[in-house]
Amino acid sequence: MLMDEAMDREIVVSRTIEGPRDLVFEVHGEVDHLSQWFGPTGFTTTTHSFEFRAGGIWDYTMHGPDGTDYPNHVEYLEISPPERIVLRHGSRQDDPDAFISTVTFEERAEGCQVTLRSVFNTKEQRDHNVDHYHAVEGAQQTLSRLDAYVERIRTTS
């Protein structure tokens, strides 16, 4: 598939995190770290199972600030430290609406640029996630929380 073919089905959000690429990658691969920063502002996560390897699964529930629970099921498809993570993300195993997300980590003079690219099955599915779940704002808030968490680690180590 050419990237142009996916443009109307994707969400891309990027942010430079003030920290070394190895550390920024590391906090994606350990559940104790993820529970500290993952998700939009006001959300928390409860992990039910976690195995950070190609073929591994992360089953978790996101808890919204309004008390709504959102089941999530991630299957890691590719893990290339410290450059890239590719995963299938749905609400449950075998979710027909699961989408593919790629997280890339690029070394920059000012830190590590993290880019989240999610490609949905259809434009309508992407639009629903943007409109109903506020996926773009949620991704931006998640990266903001990641930046703050990495800063806390750097200043307390």
The pTM score is 0.94
Q: What is the mean pLDDT of residues 22-28?
A: 98
Q: How many CA atoms lie within 13 A of 136 on its CB side?
A: 9
Q: Percent of the chain beyond pLDDT 70? A: 97
Share the mean pLDDT of the chain.
95
Q: Percent of the chain, pLDDT > 90?
A: 94
pLDDT for 1: 45
The pLDDT, as a whole number, for residue 24 is 98
Amino acid at 8: D
The mean per-residue pLDDT over the stretch 107-123 comes to: 97
Q: How many CA atoms lie within 13 A of 18 on its CB side?
A: 9
For the chain, counts of helices (H) and of strands (E): 5, 7
Out of 3.40.50.150, 3.90.1150.10, 3.30.530.20, 3.40.50.300, the CATH code matching 9-156 is 3.30.530.20
Strands (E) in 6-155, as ranges, are 10-17, 44-50, 57-63, 69-80, 84-90, 99-108, 111-119
Going from N- to C-terminal start, the domains of the chain cover 9-156
The mean pLDDT value for 95-123 works out to: 97
Least confident of 2-11, 102-111, 116-125: 2-11
Question: pLDDT band for position 4 (50/70/90)?
Answer: low
Residue of 147 and 156 predicted with greater confidence: 147
Average pLDDT over residues 85-108: 97
Decide if pLDDT at 2 tops 70. no
- pLDDT, residue 97, reads 96
Using the predicted structure, report yes or no on whether residue 6 has a pLDDT greater than 90. Answer: no
More confident residue, 5 or 151: 151
Reply yes or no: is the peptide bond before residue 82 cis, omega within 30 of 0.
Answer: yes
